[in-house]
Structure 1
Amino acid sequence: MPDTQFAQRLLRWFDQHGRKDLPWQKDITPYRVWLSEIMLQQTQVETVIPYFERFTQKYPDFESLAQAKQDDVLHLWTGLGYYARARNLHKCAQIVAEEYQGNMPADVEQLVTLPGIGRSTAGAIASIAFKQVAPILDGNVKRVLTRFYAVEGWPGEKKIENALWEKAELNTPCKRTHDYTQAIMDLGATLCTRSKPRCEECPMQQDCQAYAQGKPTAYPGKKPKKEKPVKQTQMLMLQSPEGKLLLHQRPAQGIWGGLWSFEELDMETDASEHLLTRYHNKIDIQRWPSFNHVFSHYTLVIHPILVRINKTPDEVRDDNRQLWYNPHKPKSIGLAAPVKKLIDQIKTLSEEFTLE
C-alpha cells in the first residue's frame, strides 16, 4: 500500500477515535511535548499523567526546571523509574535555558545532541511541537510496523531497526505530521497492543500482513532470552533514638544515581560485626525478610536490616552526602523505590507502636 494511503487511513481513524484529551495535548508547547515524551519512555500513559501534572505545576517551563535543585527534581520523579531520565531532563533544561535562551531547538539534528533525547524522541518533539516532517520509532510504532509489514526478527537488532526506520520514513506524511505522529502512537497503545490486539477494529487490518497470516502476536520478534544475573546486598536501616533514618546520597553515575539510599554491605560482610565496630554503643538489630527489586538487566535481592541505636553518633551529621531523614516530616529528596518502600514500612511500624 503506498505511503499516502497508510497515512490517510490512519488519520481518518485518528480523527474519529484518537486520544485528544491527554494533559500534554492541551496548551501544546515544546516544553510540555518534550517533558511528556521523556516521561513516556518505557512508561504507560496512565502512570505518567499524575507525574506530568505535578511537574508542570511546579516547573511550568525550561527556566524554572533549570533553576531547580536536582534533589527536588528526583523527589518529584520518585516512583517513575529509570532515574537517568530525570537527571538528563534537568541537564537538558539547563542547556536549553542557558544556550538557547529558553527556546528548544526545532531541528531534529540539534535535538538529538541534548541529554536524554534520541532520534525517535527528537522526531516526536519536532513533529508535534513544531509541525515538522519527522518520523518516530518508539515501542508502539515498532509493533505497528512489524505487524503491518510482517518484519521478522527482534526490533532491537540494528538491521531490523534500520529497516523499520525506512518504513517509518516512507509512511510519514508531509501534511498533518503532528496528528500522524500521535495517531500511530495511539494505534499501538490502544488497538495494536502487545498481547491482545483488537484487529477487528484496526483501520490497517485490510493490508496488515501479520493479520493475514493469522498470527499478529508473533510480531515483533522476541528479544533473545538471556538469563538475568542475580546480585545481593544488605541494606542497613540505621535509626536514631528520635526515629530518624540515616541516608546516603549515591554517586551521580550508576544505579539510582543521585538518589538517597541506606548504607549497603556486600553479603560477605558480617553486618553485626561491622555495626558494633563502627558505632560501639548498644544497638538492636532486626533482620527483615529479603525481597527482589528487578532492573532491566539484573535482579537485586535486598536483605534489609533495621538497626536501632540508643545514641546518635557524633561523627554522623547532615552534610552534602548523608542526612538524618525524618519519615514523619520528610524532606523533598529523591529516593530509590525500594528505599521508599522500606521507609514507609518503618513509618507504619512506628505509628503502630505509638498507638499501642
Structure 2
Amino acid sequence: MIPIAEPLLAWYTRHGRHDLPWRQTRDPYRLWLAEIMLQQTRVESVKPYYTRFLQALPDWRALAAAPQDQVLALWSGLGYYTRARNAQRAAQVVMAGFAGHFPDTLEKAVTLPGVGRSTAAAVLASAFGHRQAILDANARRVLIRSHAIAADPKATATQQWLWTLASALTPEDAHGYNQAIQDLGAMICTPRQPRCTDCPLASRCKAHAEGRSHALPVTVHRPPKPQRRAFFLLAADPEGRILLEKRPDSGIWGGLWCLPQAAPDSGELSNLCNDTLPPLEDTPAIRQFLQEAWSRRLRLDLRLTALGEEQQHVFTHFQLRFRCAHARVLGSAVADSAATLRWYRPADALAQGLPTPIRRILRNLGGGR
C-alpha cells in the first residue's frame, strides 16, 4: 500500500480547482446536488445546470415540492434522467424521513434514492468533516495506476480491493483529500495520455515505474452495444404548433416530453422493416403504416409529408437510430384530450424537459436556443 495523501494534498493546495461553485460551500444540499450531477458527466457540462437548478430550487423543500416537469426541464440536456427523478425522490425522503436534513451517517445516507457509497461519502466528508473514502471514476483510476492493479476494474473482487485501498489511504482531512484525488484524476491522471511528468505521485506510482500508465486501467472488451430503432412524429397543426407526448416515469426518458414514437423492432411495423437492422427505410408501405397508426392512436387526421435522414444517439447501454416523420394535421387537433399529450409552439416546447435527440430536432426547426 503506497501512501499518497501528503504529496497529493500539497499538489492540490497549489493546483486544485478551488473555484468550482460546489467547492464554495459546505451545505449538504448543494454538495449532494453537485455529486449527483457529476455522475458520468463532465465538470464543464455540469456548471451551468448546477447554477440554474439552485436558482430555481435552492433547498430540499423546494425540490421535494416542485412539479416533476420543472425538475426535468431544469435537467434537460444533462442526460441520465433517472438521476433527476431520483434526486427529487431523495429530497422527498429527506423532508419526510430526516426532518429536512441530509442523513449524517453512511448507513442512512445510502438509503436515499440515487445515492451510492461514494456519493454519500463525498457529502459526509465535505459537509460534516467525516473521514469517508470515495471511489468515483477519477479516484479509482489514480489508485489503479499508483498500485499497478492489472485486473478488470469492474470486477467485484477488484472493486472490493479498491475500496479497501481507498479507506486505508484516506486521511483525517477527507474533505481536502477527496477533492484532491478527484482533481488529480481529472487533470493529470486522465483516462488517455496521462501527464505523468506533472504528477505529484510519479515517484511513488508503480504503473509509471513499470512504464504501464497508458495500459492501465485494463480495457476489457465487451460485446458491442445493441441497436434500437425508432420513428418520431413531428406533427404540425394549422397554427404551427407541434405535438409532444409525456413518456411514462420509468425508462431512459421517463417523465420527459417527447415526440410521439413508433418502434420498428416490435409489433406490426417490424414486418415492414428488415430485421437485420439496415438503415431505416423510407417506403410507401412504411409511410402509410406510420400515418395510419399515429392517426388512430393520437386521434388526429395526419398526412405524412417527409421522412428525415437517419440520425443516431448513443446511450450507455445501447445505440438508438431514428428518423423523424414530418406530418401536417388536417382539421381540428383533438389530441389534447389525453393528459399525456400537449400542443406547443416550437420555442415553448424547447423550455420543457426534452430528450437530447428531440431537442436537436426541434432546434433545427429554427426556434431553438
Assess same fold via TM > 0.5.
yes
Q: Are 1:213 and 2:233 counterparts?
A: no
> For 2:289 and 2:33, how far apart are their aligned partners in 1?
47
> For 1:67 and 1:319, how far apart are their aligned partners in 2?
25
What secondary structure, in the 3-state scheme, does the structure 2 residue paired with 1:285 have? strand
Share of identical aligned residues, percent? 40
Residue 320 (structure 2) aligned to one of 285, 292, 300? 300
Aligned to 1:352: none
Amino acid in the other structure paired with 2:333: P
Residue 177 (structure 2) aligned to one of 158, 176, 180? 180
Q: TM-score, normalization: structure 1?
A: 0.93
> For 1:297 and 1:328, how far apart are their aligned partners in 2?
31
Aligned to 1:353: none
After superposition, residues 44-63 of structure 1 pair within 5 angstroms as 44-63=42-61
Q: Contact 1:71–1:332 at 8 Å: present in 2 too? A: no
Kindly provide the CA deviation profile for residues 56-113 of structure 1, in whole angstroms up to 9, marking residues without a partner as x: 1111111111111111010010110100000001111111122212111121111100
Deviation of the 1:312 alpha carbon = 3.0
Q: Are 1:75 and 2:73 counterparts?
A: yes
> For 2:164 and 2:221, how far apart are their aligned partners in 1?
23
Aligned to 1:156: 154
Aligned to 1:7: 5
Q: Contact 1:78–1:335 at 8 Å: present in 2 too? A: yes
Distance 1:221 1:282, change over 3 A: closer
After superposition, residues 1-356 of structure 1 pair within 5 angstroms as 3=3, 6-174=4-172, 176-267=173-264, 269=269, 270-276=286-292, 278=296, 281=301, 283-314=303-334, 316-317=335-336, 319-330=338-349, 332-347=351-366
> For 2:60 and 2:302, how far apart are their aligned partners in 1?
50
5+ residue gaps, structure 2: 270-285
What secondary structure, in the 3-state scheme, does the structure 1 residue paired with 2:347 have? coil
Amino acid in the other structure paired with 2:186: A
> For 2:337 and 2:300, how far apart are their aligned partners in 1?
20
> For 2:201 and 2:287, how far apart are their aligned partners in 1?
60
Q: TM-score, normalization: structure 2?
A: 0.89
> For 1:139 and 1:280, how far apart are their aligned partners in 2?
48
Distance 1:304 1:2, change over 3 A: closer
5+ residue gaps, structure 1: 350-356
Deviation of the 1:319 alpha carbon = 4.4
Distance 1:28 1:282, change over 3 A: closer
> For 2:146 and 2:228, how far apart are their aligned partners in 1?
40
Deviation of the 1:29 alpha carbon = 0.4
> For 1:317 and 1:257, how far apart are their aligned partners in 2?
20
> For 1:245 and 1:59, how far apart are their aligned partners in 2?
29
Kindly provide the CA deviation profile for residues 164-184 of structure 1, in whole angstroms up to 9, marking residues without a partner as x: 11110110112x110011011
Give the count of matched residue pairs: 345
